[in-house]
Structure 1
Amino acid sequence: MGAASKPGWRRRIESLARPRHPEPLPVALDRRRVYILPTAFGWFFLLLLLAMLAGALNYNNNPALLLALLLAGAANTSLFAAHLQLSGLQVIAIDAEPVAAGKPLQLGVHARAQAGRSRRGLRVECLGSVAVLSLDGGAGATTLEIPTRRRGWLHPGRLRISTTRPLGLARAWAWLWPRTPLLVYPAPEAHGPPLPEGSGDNAQARLHPAGDDVHHLRAYRRGDARRAIAWKPSARHGALLVREYEQPLGADIVLDWHDLHALAWEDRIRRLARWVDEAEREGRRWRLQLPGEPALGPARGADHRHACLRALALLPEAGGGDVDSR
């Protein structure tokens, strides 16, 4: 049920239950943070129960009166059970791997329960995404798919954890507001020019079957091309040997912000993000130079890629800072 479709009184109650400020994790949900109200089925059950009680008293029907009282006791017990599903729950962490803007972020929510109690069917909601959290043996995790639109820090805001177990007569819920921002990389440019030529003295090379220079000989493997077989060395050693070549890749690549002065601010960021991804895929070494910051690299690998994309993601908006935009 969306916020717009909820009755006004329910929205007011939920607004009072929400935390006013972000809070550091872990967060424990005690009884003062858990709220409970009847569901639509719960209200129907209550009306039905009142009708049964009225009929039983009117006709002095003791079996019907006993049945109504037993159902009332079961309903009352279900309220306590729903409350206990959340009371004592502790959300210990949230995390997510950074993704490019426009792609969904997989937000992991990790929780545990006091005394190792198992809890099932908890509903976790955040920014329109819903997931089911079950705690087997007192600990568990779930993943929500959060939409992303802009680069930089994403603050997921308030998380709502709720349950209608065990009978669906009442909904117990609690809010928490984690003080944990999540990183969103800039969206890479869809199409553009190839990587710039390398510069500097650190020339590199990679093994490639269509390279220019022979690097070494190795044992034949199924699927190797016949033209790559070194017949004379194979005859001397009595086993098939294959030539392995190397192809020059050039020197370190320099990705300089100022070389893209013809592009708009965000277009520069998207192009540099694409070049970082391409350089990593090709196994190249690169150096990223951004305005007002020390150069990153030259290096390569997943850590260097993350450092570069993080720096691009956290650049201020166009005209939003004292960054040189030449």
Structure 2
Amino acid sequence: MVALPQRAPAGPRQQLRRRFQAWARPRRPEALPVALDRHRIYVLPTRFGLFFALLLGVMGLGALNYNNNPALLLALLLAAAANASLLLAHLQLSGLQVVAIGAEPVAAGTPLELRLHARAAPGRERRGLRVDCGAATTTLSLSEGSGQASLLLPTTQRGWLDPGRLCISSIRPLGLARAWAYVWPQTLLLVYPAPEAHGPPLPPGGGSQAPVRLHPAGDDVHHLRAYRRGDPRRAIAWKPSARRGALLVREYEQPRGADVVLDWRQLSALAWEARIRRLARWVDEAEREGRRYRLQLPGQPALGPASGAQHRHACLRALALLPAAGER
């Protein structure tokens, strides 16, 4: 009951980049944390760096042609600075450690916020770090040796989202060279099914009557308790208060509605994915109304009856991981 991993949609440039990534390290998903070392950091000149190298070549040829020693010295000094920038760009990434990635599940069609946590040994200033994942890009700032970057990834379908390779790069300090490294986390992110936009209300309760809840405007008196500042005057029980010599307040009770049963079999008239979207909508609606609900899916034990964030996550996760219509 696991949906196939999905990838964020990529344009032609990202597709071409993925072809070249097949030769880069790492070549398979890896468990976190991951440390970036010299074996997986790549350095190449930028467009500005190529132009700068061409300019230095012209300067060097001109200085040799005209036997101009000051111009030749300047060209050599600039070449040494450019060579040093390659090393410094490499050191921006060397020793960086990607600790973890994570994201809160969202409904399909809603951007998913991927959070990347990184740290590095203190003592070396790292600036201009950039994180790319497909078409999404952001900056990574390290404060006191640790930092976090957030990326918004598009989601198109329910199930597991494979973020793929993450690229961490830098062009500091001079912008002449770009150093980058890939991280391929062995982590899948969950995407809930998109709820139905418009549909019928919740089905009537079919389970057992839920326990009562205290409510200041209920129907029956549940018990008397001591007065607390802010209690309404109409709730004060004056006769019992006079007998006890202390203010007492009535607590009322109001029964909750019966448990809602969300049964897959009752939606047999709908298509496979339409059933999933309607059940996802009913789960959210039951949570908003504070109702207890039970979800019954094919080939699985019933979930609930219960309510709350954990129960909602369990139900939406089960709906998200249902096989596709052609795979059941």
Asked whether the two chains share a fold, i.e. TM above 0.5, the reply is yes
Q: Structure 2: which 5+ residue stretches go unaligned?
A: 1-9
Deviations 1:94-144 (A, max 9, x none): 111111111111111122235664422211111211011122333222111
1:276-306 deviations in Å (ceiling 9; x for gaps)? 1222233322211100001111222221111
Kindly provide the CA deviation profile for residues 206-243 of structure 1, in whole angstroms up to 9, marking residues without a partner as x: 34454323345674766x777x4547459848998765
SS in 2 for 1:193: coil
Checking the alignment, whether the CA contact within 8 Å between 1:233 and 1:241 is kept in structure 2 is no
Residue pairs, 1:113-192, within 5 angstroms: 113-114=120-121, 117-192=124-199
| Cα distance per residue 1:34-74 (max 9 Å; x no partner) | 11111111112112222222333333333322222111111
Find the counterpart in structure 2 of residue 248 from structure 1.
255
- Structure with greater contact order relative to length (CA < 8 Å, sep ≥ 6): 2
1:71 aligns with 2:78: yes
2:40 aligned with 1:33, yes or no? yes
- Counterpart CA distance in 2 for 1:63 and 1:44 is 22
Instruction: Tell me, in whole angstroms, the C-alpha distance in 2 between the residues paired with 1:196 and 1:15.
Output: 51
Distance 2:64 2:252 in 1: 96
Instruction: State yes or no: 1:105 paired with 2:112.
Output: yes
Counterpart CA distance in 2 for 1:239 and 1:109 is 58
Question: Which shows bigger deviation, 163-172 or 134-143?
Answer: 134-143
The 1:65–1:284 alpha-carbon spacing in structure 2 relative to 1, beyond 3 Å, is same
The offset of 1:12, in angstroms, is: 6.9
Q: Distance in 2 between matches of 1:143 and 1:301?
A: 27
Which whole-Å CA distance do the structure 1 matches of 2:18 and 2:296 have between them?
A: 49
How far apart are the structure 2 equivalents of 1:106 and 1:185?
14
What is the identity, as a one-letter code, of the residue corresponding to 2:153?
A: I
TM-score normalised per structure 2 = 0.85
Corresponding residue for residue 97 of structure 2: 90
Given residue 124 of structure 1, which amino acid in structure 2 is its aligned partner? V
Other structure's SS at 2:98 match: strand
Q: TM-score, normalised by structure 1?
A: 0.85
Partner Cα distance (1:247, 1:318) in 2: 43
Give the structure 2 partner of residue 324 of structure 1: none
Matched, 1:204 2:208: no
Q: Output the aligned Cα RMSD.
A: 2.8
Verify: 1:43 aligned to 2:74, yes or no: no
Compared with structure 1, are the counterparts of its residues 52 and 217 closer, same or farther at alpha carbon in structure 2 (3 Å cutoff)? farther
Query: Could you tell me the percent identity over the aligned residues?
Result: 71
Q: AA paired with 2:208?
A: D
Amino acid paired to 2:274: D
Asked if 2 retains the 8 angstrom alpha-carbon contact of 1:204 and 1:251, the reply is no
